[in-house]
Structure 1
């Protein structure tokens, strides 16, 4: 992993200190992609910020995205000229922003970009995610060309799931870097 920098992309409202993403930042040196407004995410701002980070971070990159961060990756990959810098993306518990209740809270994020990603990807979903059904997550994985990993009954795969450093997720991330 020394040759790759991991960019950590939290979802809506950010990731608190007990979230696996923040464990990765603290324990493995991942780079958190900060947003100006975690509560009212503006799609254009989030895509621009990711593009800036990809341009400014040296070396090859791996993306570790959660929830709205997954939707951000797909939208960014469709418009950025810098996707070749990314060797892979771990997409965890995508938020279904096309669901009526999320669509209202996150205007500007629908429709979800469904084109195939230009880099290797693994999508990890859950059978009981309140923000995205397993079937919907599998549809996104298929459209994005991502390998589907079913984590079982793991909720939204966030701090509530109590994964800590989530070694199994780290192993999936490491698989993405070995394919390059």
Structure 2
């Protein structure tokens, strides 16, 4: 029987896609073989188009994958998991937004999110191990709402402290803990019963 291969790391960006100094972009460059869901040319606010792009990226990967999602990328993963099944070793779900509450100026309105298929937010248990990394002062989601989602998804919840939305605007280019979480999720693949809390 062949030895288990390491899972492929797949970056799932949010609605702003790839930002040069974002920790996801830096992580992809730092991890050998890591890939990223390509940006959409059209229908950028369409949840269905984003889910299809994730599914297409996964179709190009042989074997298991670890998903590394941030912001709306977390919601893309949650919607994808409701519609598709394939081997996912685990998912890092960093600072999910609360699309059911009004977002700050410059972000899509609740009506726009509703019209583009993002609502309601999926709350089914995810069929793979996951870590929700939450911020105590995220302008896009209250901590109690993120905790509620982590519980519904069956995710391990990690309180990151006051890290804002964990993006360049909050001072996060590099985020070393991302690599720690990815390593944890990848190593869980080689255990028969990954620890879930």
Determine if contact 2:125/2:154 at 8 Å carries over to the other structure. yes
Query: Of the candidates 154, 157, 165, which is equivalent to residue 166 of structure 2?
Result: 157
Q: Distance in 2 between matches of 1:164 and 1:130?
A: 18
**Compared with structure 1, are the counterparts of its residues 100 and 39 closer, same or farther at alpha carbon in structure 2 (3 Å cutoff)?**
farther
Q: Secondary structure at the match of 2:28?
A: helix
Instruction: Provide the TM-score with structure 2 as the length reference.
Output: 0.84
Structure 2 match to 1:93:
95
How far is the alpha carbon of 1:39 from its aligned partner? Answer: 8.0
The whole-number CA distance in structure 1 between the counterparts of 2:112 and 2:19 is 20
- Kindly indicate whether residue 13 of structure 2 is the aligned counterpart of residue 6 of structure 1: no
In 2, the alpha carbon distance for the partners of 1:23 and 1:63 equals: 15
Indicate the structure with greater helix content.
1
Distance 1:129 1:105 in 2: 21
Larger Rg computed on CA atoms: 2
The alignment's TM-score, normalised by the length of structure 1, stands at 0.91
**Could you say which residue in structure 1 is the equivalent of 2:58?**
54
Match for residue 77 of structure 2 among 56, 61, 73: 73
Q: Which runs of 4+ in 1 moved over 3 A?
A: 37-40
CA contact (8 A) 1:62 1:177 kept: yes
2:195 maps to what in 1? none
What runs of 5+ residues in structure 1 fail to find an aligned partner? Answer: none
Pairwise CA RMSD: 1.9
1:47–1:72 Cα contact (<8 Å) kept: yes
Q: Which of 98, 104, 107 is equivalent to 2:111? A: 104
Q: Which string of whole-angstrom CA distances, capped at 9 and with x for unpartnered residues, describes residues 47-96 of structure 1?
A: 111111112112210000000010111110011032xx211000001011
Mapped partners of 2:65, 2:89: distance in 1: 6
Unaligned runs of 5+ in 2: 104-108, 190-197
